[in-house]
Amino acid sequence: MARLMVSISGVRGIIGEGLSPEVALHFAQAFGTYCNGGPVVVARDSRTSGEMIQHAVVSGLMATGNPVIELGICPTPTTQMATEKLQAAGGIMITASHNPVMWNGLKLLAPDGLFLDSEQSKQVVQLYQDRAFALKTWDDLGLVKTYDRAVQDHLDTVLHLPFIHTEQIRARRFKVVADCINGAGAVIIPKLLKELGCDIVVLNGTPDGRFPRTPEPLPENLGEVCKAVHQYGADLGVVVDPDSDRLALVSEKGIPLGEEYTLALAVDFVLQHRRGPVVVNVSTSQVIDDIARRYDCRVERTRVGEINVAKLMREIGAVVGGEGNGGVILPDVHLGRDAIVGITLILQKMAQTSKSLHQLFSELPQYKIVKTKIELPTGIDTAAVVESIRQKYQNENLDMTDGVKILRPHAWVQVRASNTEPILRVMAEAPTEQEAHALAQELKQATARIVSNPST
Ligand code: MG
């Protein structure tokens, strides 16, 4: 894997190997130039390298004359909201999201708090590569101030949503185990749960960036929280990634529900209160389609990537949306994936139905997703391989939004090229793991035949 990735989603790299203060400095100067010297919000997750990178970023922005508004440690969704609220020209979130602790990176935000789209990102990357920085003289440098209400603003917005009844949630006195992985979530999630009257057990609640496990909230990484839910007899467990845009849930039985079901439960709750279109990415579970059908609502699908989902949601006035990796987007709060929103919606749903999380989960259609990848020989044209797959399956029901997705009754399989590695990602979903696995294998084998014999 590349040690430094400069792409349309910003920059991400391993500290000491690809990502250095120099890279962060130059990227901040490129972004400051792109923002025309306007104010820029800067925040970070809790990684041990965060403060070092922040100094470089702030230094770069000051050099290009941008006033800097520092938020300190806070989640990505909090930073997105603050960028919009404070009417900044942009925002920089210092995080490598779910990547392990040796990584860090910069996520770049537009004035509306959405991530830069591919066109906007290209402009920043061009300025970075050309070193075309609008550096200012001594009397025109940017000044730094801090804004310490971003977390409270975020909480206030979520707790005042029209369909959230905090009294109803408080009355239930839910027992919740919250695993913040010593990430940015630690500065907001315990506060949120306290406001909601929960009896809380916090695991890894010190935002010092010392992640005690692999930070991606996949079921196989959640052993500690599952055990704690059992031990404390909790109603549920909530787990976030280091920048708290993704949320995974653990039922009262100590079983991880899988991130797809975070979004499913949230969509089910919102559509109960408000009918309208739903937007998810093309790799998100079909359980969303089943749920939307119950409420007679339509589902639109986009390419993978939060910005793609957020932009289509705005365009068509979606009432809820997100990505299957535990990323719930509620436009009333902000057009970005938000674990704080996710937790609040789930607790409200539990409070008003008087059902346990496991019961609510069991009432939804059940699917299993299998993910695998195909390593390709170097130099191979991934687009041509994808096109050959399309031709092979052209008589089937296809969705070409991102790679090739083959739709079958109650199942689908998708093959798409990775943006960062010479691999194809294969994802399959079916009612059982066995069927999903068989589908993924079928596509893997078909692809292997195409790669080894391109003329057929
Ligand atoms: Mg994240």
What is the CA(452)–ligand 1 centre distance, in A? 37
User: Among residues 46, 59, 97, 251, which one is catalytic?
Assistant: 97
Q: Is 97 a catalytic residue?
A: yes
Beta strands in 45-139 (DSSP E): 68-73, 90-94, 103-109
Nearest CA to 154 among 182, 187, 180? 187
What is the CA(179)–ligand 1 centre distance, in A? 14
Domains and CATH numbers, the chain: 4-150 (3.40.120.10), 171-362 (3.40.120.10), 368-452 (3.30.310.50)
The secondary structure of residue 385, as a DSSP letter, is: H
> What pairs with residue 201 in β-bridges?
177
Residue 348: phi and psi, rounded to 5, are: -65, -40
* pLDDT tens readout for residues 41-99: 999 999 999 999 999 999 999 999 999 999 999 999 999 999 999 999 999 999 999 99
What is the CA(161)–ligand 1 centre distance, in A? 23
Give the pLDDT of residue 454: 64
What is the CA(241)–ligand 1 centre distance, in A? 6
Q: How far is CA 80 from CA 111, 118, 126, 336, in A?
A: 9, 18, 24, 7
Give the pLDDT of residue 420: 64
Host H or E run for residue 189: helix 189-195
Give the pLDDT of residue 1: 47
What is the CA(338)–ligand 1 centre distance, in A? 9
* pLDDT tens readout for residues 94-108: 999 999 999 999 999
Query: Judging by DSSP bridges, how do beta strands 320-323 and 278-281 pair with one another?
Result: parallel
| 85-123 burial: b if 16+ Cβ within 10 Å, else e | bbebbbbbbbbbbbbebebbbbbbbbbebbbbeeebbee
What is the CA(185)–ligand 1 centre distance, in A? 11
CA distance 411 to 320: 23
What is the CA(427)–ligand 1 centre distance, in A? 20
What is the CA(90)–ligand 1 centre distance, in A? 19
What is the CA(45)–ligand 1 centre distance, in A? 10
Give the sign of the dihedral formed by CA 230, CA 350, CA 266, CA 42: negative
Query: Judging by DSSP bridges, how do beta strands 144-146 and 236-240 pair with one another?
Result: unpaired
* pLDDT tens readout for residues 362-386: 999 999 999 998 888 877 888 889 9
- Written as tens digits, the pLDDT of the chain (456 aa) is 457 888 767 899 999 999 999 999 999 999 999 999 999 999 999 999 999 999 999 999 999 999 999 999 999 999 999 999 999 999 999 999 999 999 999 999 999 999 999 999 999 999 999 999 999 999 999 999 999 999 999 999 999 999 999 999 999 999 999 999 999 999 999 999 999 999 999 999 999 999 999 999 999 999 999 999 999 999 999 999 999 999 999 999 999 999 999 999 999 999 999 999 999 999 999 999 999 999 999 999 999 989 999 999 999 999 999 999 999 999 999 999 999 999 999 999 999 999 999 999 999 999 999 999 888 887 788 888 999 999 999 999 999 999 999 999 999 999 998 766 778 999 999 999 999 999 999 999 999 888 887 655
Are the C-beta atoms of residues 272 and 76 closer than 8 Å to each other? Answer: no
